[in-house]
């Protein structure tokens, strides 16, 4: 299996490295931000242990540049982790960068996984692929299963928990999502489909190197997980509500085609509905 290739147009290896070179160095987050990759590649800055760089005289846009390939969790590299103009790769323009795949070996969720993942359950999408969904809120922990750091005072007391900055916006939005899926008739929180899609994409970013342009690639190759039932169920899983089981059971029996206080699920056909067997505790 192979993950995504990133082509940075008109950028040499020295332009994206904070120190060292392509044989051993560290990527510059500020320069990656210029290409929209600072968050996507934030956990694979070490070259070549975590990310492989290769110079390209003529990339998918016909210009010189650098190809980046984040090393997947299994450590395996594609046979050719650089640009080839022979039909073996497919590329899409994503602004200042290009996203590419090995055509015969498109990425699976595990190829996009971060080096460390945070989740309580995994959810299977329409295509039978499993995605790890992070838990944002639970009665057992203020920050659910999100990445946190623990701090103590100089005397070993005054313990504090700090949520990682990359999860802050996701955690804050999870409060509205929890209210949205509650059955409290006095709560009038509203979220539309776009709100839920953006929220679930944030959830996936916690565990995967994805952004909207990567989702576009997955959509182009018929592997976009963000269809209606996946989005609604994934959103429910992030807040660990007891209504998840009841909601899915209704979907299985066809008794209800809408989420609690939620938008219509569409056709509601059984093939599009997750079953209890598709939710696995981690």
The pLDDT confidence band at residue 183, using thresholds 50, 70 and 90, is low
Domain boundary assignment for the chain: 5-108, 116-281
> Cα separation of 47 and 71, whole Å?
10
What is the overall mean pLDDT for the chain?
80
CB atoms within 10 A of CB 154: 6
Indicate the pTM of the whole model.
Answer: 0.80
List, for residues 129-170, the tens digit of each pLDDT value.
Answer: 999 999 888 777 778 888 888 877 777 776 778 888 889 899
pLDDT digits (tens, 9 = 90+) for 51-78: 999 888 899 999 999 999 998 877 777 6
Tens of pLDDT along 114-123?
A: 988 987 789 9
45 and 26 Cβ atoms separated by less than 8 Å: yes
Q: Could you tell me which of 107, 89, 98, 100 has the C-alpha nearest to residue 36? A: 98
Alpha helices in 79-227 (DSSP H): 168-180, 193-207, 212-220
Query: How many percent of the chain have pLDDT more than 70?
Result: 80
């Amino acid at each position: 299996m192979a993950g995504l290739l990133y082509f940075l147009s008109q950028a040499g290896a020295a332009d994206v490295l904070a120190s060292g070179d392509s044989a051993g160095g560290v990527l510059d987050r500020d320069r990656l931000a210029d290409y929209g990759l600072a968050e996507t590649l934030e956990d694979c800055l070490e070259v070549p242990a975590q990310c492989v760089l290769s110079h390209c005289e003529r990339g998918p846009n016909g210009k010189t540049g650098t190809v980046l390939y984040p090393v997947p969790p299994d450590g395996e590299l594609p046979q050719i982790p650089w640009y080839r103009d022979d039909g073996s790769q497919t590329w899409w323009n994503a602004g200042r960068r290009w996203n590419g795949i090995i055509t015969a070996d498109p990425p699976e969720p595990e190829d996009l996984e971060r080096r460390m993942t945070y989740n309580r359950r995994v959810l299977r999408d329409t295509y039978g692929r499993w995605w790890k969904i992070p838990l944002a809120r639970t009665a057992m922990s203020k920050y659910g299963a999100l990445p946190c750091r623990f701090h103590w005072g100089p005397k070993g007391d005054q313990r504090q928990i700090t949520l990682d900055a990359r999860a802050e916006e996701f955690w804050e939005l999870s409060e509205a999502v929890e209210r949205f899926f509650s059955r409290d008739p006095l709560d009038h929180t509203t979220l539309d489909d776009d709100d839920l899609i953006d929220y679930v994409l944030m959830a996936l970013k916690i565990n995967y190197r994805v952004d909207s342009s990567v989702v576009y690639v997955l959509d182009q190759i018929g592997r976009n997980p963000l269809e209606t039932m996946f989005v609604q169920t994934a959103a429910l899983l992030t807040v660990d509500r007891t209504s998840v089981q009841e909601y899915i059971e209704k979907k299985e029996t066809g008794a209800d085609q809408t989420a609690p206080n939620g938008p219509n699920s569409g056709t509601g056909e059984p093939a599009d509905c997750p079953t209890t067997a598709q939710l696995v505790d981690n």
